[in-house]
Homo-oligomer: A and B are copies of this chain.
Amino acid sequence: MQHALSHTRADNFAAWYQDVVAEADMAEESGVRGCMIIRPWGYGVWQRMQELLDRRFRDTGHENCYFPLFIPLSFIAKEAEHVEGFAKEMAVVTHHRLKMIDGQLKPDPDAKLEEPLVVRPTSETVIGNAFSRWVRSHRDLPLLLNQWANVVRWEMRTRLFLRTTEFLWQEGHTAHATAEDAREETARMLEVYRSFAEDCLAMPVVAGEKPPHERFPGADNTYSIEAMMQDGKALQAGTAHYLGTNFAQAQNIRYQTEQGDLAYCHTTSWGVSTRLVGGVIMTHGDDDGLRLPPVIAPRQVVLVPMLRDKPEDAEVLAYCDQLAAELNRLSVFGEPVRALVDRKGGRSTDKRWGWIKRGVPVICDIGARDVANGNVSYIRRDRLRTGEKVGSQMLAKAAFIAQAAVLLQDIQSSLHTQARERMLSNIRSDITTLEGLSEHFSSGPDNGAKADDENDAFRGWVLVPWARPQGADMEKVEQQLKALKLTVRNAPLAQESAAGRTCLFTGQRAIEYVLVGRTY
């Protein structure tokens, strides 16, 4: 069967992903190693995510602010002292001027900074420093802040949206009087992420707590939402950390209690990034390109007028304009419908395929015959093909308008259902031994010659009983996981009792279940 992309998911998932990113005009390499250019369609999806999340952050009492891009090396050094597992791959600014030297533009040796500046990899240090100045009394708490920002982490192997040196994200930072308040906040924001992923991105996720060895350095507890990609790997799609008083102690964030004592604040942080765009692609894309859930599609309905350089063209355009105007007066998901008439030049069939690859939920081809009969021919992107053929449907214009909102809702929920069923049917919970796990994840001997293909085959996740091993036990488990190229994703919040089960790895009494799988 002929598809719009040159690679299929089944043949080469990684190449297919790159095809979608390129063909859907989502992003491209920039020439600066590891930094991407987010193209308008990709940025449009991110901007939709921002709008929807920003509203949810505001509705849960958070305020936006902005902290500097640069962090003094001394702040970072202080953190390094306190935090084990501190990552050092950061961009370092050492000069503040360029100069022509022997005909070449170079950093000016006379403009060397006394103290180097680090481009923020995350902002706990600089925000904690401000918190220590802003928090005085219990009346100042809780302090609920968020910022939308770019951050930089030097990465050796990068992939557009999934792992880039610079990426866009939001980072929430909050300070609370009690552990209970801060834990509630952490849970609240994890739930915001979970419901946002399910309801807006139509991306099913499992919310749960990370095991200690996967925690954010300095956190008491780290929680994540994990999504299953179409190659069976997990994508960590958002995290929320309860930081206890660790950062407050390192940065002296204290408040006067009602009784007049000084106490350390309990802090949290939480974030999601442009990585979510990669998650949407790998959750919903098919071999013809992207499929976008209507809630986050920059355009939900695109009308492609079929023009033939004939007098009827004006009528076709007028018909499209009127139809788009009527659609845009409708409301769906609590917002106005976003319809567009594609007036650009070029062949209408190329334009139609362009929108298919970009994943527009509903694409209408409007020709002179449709105008004459008062009809609308349209494609549902989530059900593009009937057999090999692209399946177009037709409705009278009034009926199409009357059903448009329901159609978009149906596409949203169909995409969600499809992804949810795939995820649920690919979580095994009947594997009880390490041998069973090994067999499940490796269908052949692990030799270096067999490249990633072998290991990329769809194997989903496995839910295993877990004893929360520690010390030497845990080191052994980490080695076992590493040998199988597996990681513990999280301990799902919603799970049955593991009472009476034994840990798959240690044979000790299980405390809970955890998900294991391959990951991005």
Q: Which one of A86-94, A303-311, A421-429, A461-469 contacts B?
A: A86-94
Q: Does A159 touch B at the CB level, under 8 Å?
A: no
Interface presence of A145 (CB below 8 A): yes
Which chain B positions have C-beta within 8 A of A399?
A: none
Contact A37 B64 (CB under 8 A): no
Tell me if A402 is interfacial: C-beta within 8 Å of chain B.
no
Quick check: which of A98-106, A225-233, A284-292, A313-321 contacts chain B, the rest being far away?
Answer: A98-106
Given A30-B126, A35-B69, A126-B30, A105 contacting B90 (CB threshold 8 A): no
Q: A207-240: contact bitstring with B at CB < 8 Å (1 yes, 0 no)? A: 0000000000000000000000000000000000
Question: Is there an interface contact between B118 and A94, defined as CB atoms closer than 8 Å?
Answer: no
Q: Are B91 and A65 in contact (CB under 8 A)?
A: no
Residue of B nearest to A118 (CB): B98
User: What is the distance, in angstroms, from A170's C-beta to the closest C-beta of chain B?
Assistant: 13
A379 within 8 A of partner (CB)? no
Would you give the shortest CB distance from A13 to chain B, in whole angstroms? 26
Number of copies of this protein chain within its complex? 2
CB distance from A122 to the nearest CB of B (A): 14
Q: Are B107 and A96 neighbours in the complex by a CB distance under 8 Å?
A: no
Is A23 an interface position by the 8 A CB rule? Answer: no
- CA A118 – CA B119 in complex, angstroms? 12
Quick check: is A494 within 8 A (CB to CB) of the other chain?
no
Interface string of A59-84 (1 = CB under 8 A from B): 00001111111111100110010000
CB distance from A237 to the nearest CB of B (A): 20
> Judging by beta carbons under 8 Å apart, are B68 and A37 in contact?
yes
Residues in B neighbouring A166, C-beta threshold 8 A: 68-70
- B residues within 8 A CB of A100? 80
Binds B, one of A40-48, A249-257, A363-371: A40-48
Task: Specify the chain B residue showing the minimal Cβ separation from A68.
Answer: B35
Q: Check: A117 CB closer than 8 A to any chain B CB.
A: yes
Which of B35, B36, B65, B76 has a CB less than 8 Å from the CB of A43? B65
Residues of B within 8 A of A39 (CB): 65
Among A66, A154, A345, the most chain B Cβ lie within 10 Å of the Cβ of A66
CB under 8 Å from chain B, chain A span 146-187: 149-150, 152, 154, 166, 168
Chain B residues in 8 Å Cβ range of A152: 69
The smallest C-beta distance from A400 to any residue of chain B, in angstroms, reads 25
Smallest CB-CB A-B distances: 3 pairs: A35-B68, A40-B63, A38-B66
Known: A30-B67, A97-B154, A139-B345. 17 other contacts (CB 8 A): A30-B68, A32-B70, A46-B66, A69-B152, A73-B106, A77-B104, A88-B97, A88-B99, A89-B97, A91-B95, A92-B95, A92-B96, A92-B98, A92-B107, A119-B119, A139-B344, A149-B150
Q: What are 14 of the A-B contact pairs (CB < 8 Å)?
A: A30-B130, A31-B72, A32-B117, A35-B68, A37-B68, A44-B63, A44-B64, A47-B64, A68-B166, A77-B105, A92-B93, A92-B107, A94-B107, A139-B346
Residues of A within 8 A of B (CB): 30-32, 35-40, 43-44, 46-47, 63-73, 76-77, 80, 88-100, 104-108, 116-119, 126, 129-130, 139, 145, 149-150, 152, 154, 166, 168, 344-346
